[in-house]
Amino acid sequence: MRVMIIGAGIGGLTLAQALHHGGIEVSVHDRDPQVGATGGYRLHLDDRACEVLRRHLSPQHYHALLASSVSRASLRRYTWADHHLRPLVTRPSDQGTDTLMIGRVPLRTLLTHGLDDQVRFGAEYVSHEVLSDGRVAAHFADGSTDTADVLVGADGTRSRVAASLAGRELADPIGFGGIAARTPLTARTRALLPDIVNDGPVLALGLKGASVFMQVHDPSGGPAIDPASCTTVPAITEAPSLVWGLSATETVLPPVTVQGMTGPELVEFTLSTVRGWPPAVLELIAATDPGSAAGFRFYAADPDADLTPWPAGPVTALGDAVHAMPPTGGRAAATAIIDADHLARELLAARDGDSTIALATHRFHREMAGYAPAAIRFSMLPLRWLSRVDRLDRPGLRGLAELGLSAAAAVHHFNSSLNGRAAA
């Protein structure tokens, strides 16, 4: 069996690693010019995603992931605050479960390790066709073609593969957008960090449906494992930074305006949006590396709809290509990793003669339907709450924050239980 994967994101590369280690030939095609040319900042992978990676990677490979991540001790609590950074509600983090807090570029780079020439960058997927023998041929913008027994679209939100299967886009705009960037941590900017930001992620609720998320990302200051111990697979340690993100309605962040801005313009736009916030917050945003700034629109799939509205067969999709969700839940990467695990298991069974390719994709679709909708709903909850912020006084904000944290915890536990049942 040969499997072709369109998209070298976290889900696609996890699938490639799982199939490669299972003895299935894989090829991965991505339109980015190279592995580091990707958006995104820090990812939070939960215990289920960590278990999948640990099982499909060698011990030395997983060791390098740990050494490239931030120590769990840096995540002491989650805080909802008002726009003056006065805490509304805090919740201690669960220190008893495995977790990875790692930059998207280091994770993506490490997941290409060992795949050698099986990953091709600069390859933009255009279309595919199922041949008379049941195999699938994919066509690329440079005129090249690749053929495999199975094609998997892992090409993210607004996936071309999934759209061709469904006959429509699976994700729609949800009325919110964001601006995100990194502020390098120097002696001066560290001194500006509010205490609650040093303790863990903070979501500060502002006016006009705007909020600012802040978290310190400092692998060098406390990695989970000493990077020097990684001799087989080298660790990748990022420079320390404050990762921040502004989320707001599209009335505040018009997508056409924001997506056309340069990095410096995005920083200035953010500063104008949060005018009146504490001086330290404004100084931290002003000290942003403008090259790291990006503006984007939030999309989501409909959790109440059929996420895979196509017949089971040799072409399917996973991750954001199927169940796009806004970044406000921090669940997209972990859910894509779980997808990859389920699909790899089913394809390995088909390779071994225990099922067929059509049955493998059918079972995968059924399993994914058991947990992906909950992940979408979980990611949508903060945006629903934020849309009410400008109509509340401080006691109302506190009540909203308490509701947010308790509901998020409930959905998280519900989603985790679904993940466990799907994996059983």
pLDDT of residue 205: 87
What's the pLDDT tens digit per position in 142-191?
Answer: 999 999 999 999 999 999 999 999 999 999 999 999 999 999 999 999 99
Q: Which residue has the tokens 């199922």?
A: 130
pLDDT of residue 28: 99
pLDDT of residue 90: 85
pLDDT of residue 360: 99
3-state secondary structure 67-94: HCCECHHHCCEEEEEECCCCEEEEEECC
pLDDT of residue 77: 85
pLDDT of residue 422: 34
Q: What is the mean pLDDT of each run of 10 residues along the chain (424 residues)?
A: 98 99 98 90 91 97 93 79 90 72 94 96 98 98 98 98 98 96 97 92 84 90 75 92 95 92 98 95 98 96 98 98 93 97 99 98 98 95 72 50 47 36 34
| Own/partner long-range contacts of 160-165 (Cβ < 8 Å, ≥24 apart) | 160/6, 160/125, 160/126, 160/127, 161/6, 161/125, 161/128, 161/315, 161/317, 161/321, 162/317, 162/321, 162/322, 164/127, 164/128, 165/308, 165/309, 165/310, 165/315, 165/316, 165/317
pLDDT of residue 171: 97
Q: Is the pTM of this model over 0.75?
A: yes
pLDDT of residue 100: 86
Quick one: tokens of 141? 């913008």
Ordered structural domains, the chain, with CATH: 2-423 (3.50.50.60)
pLDDT of residue 91: 84
pLDDT of residue 67: 92
pLDDT of residue 408: 45
pLDDT of residue 309: 98
End-to-end Cα, the chain, rounded Å: 25
What's the pLDDT tens digit per position in 308-340?
Answer: 999 999 999 999 999 999 998 889 999 999 999
pLDDT of residue 221: 63
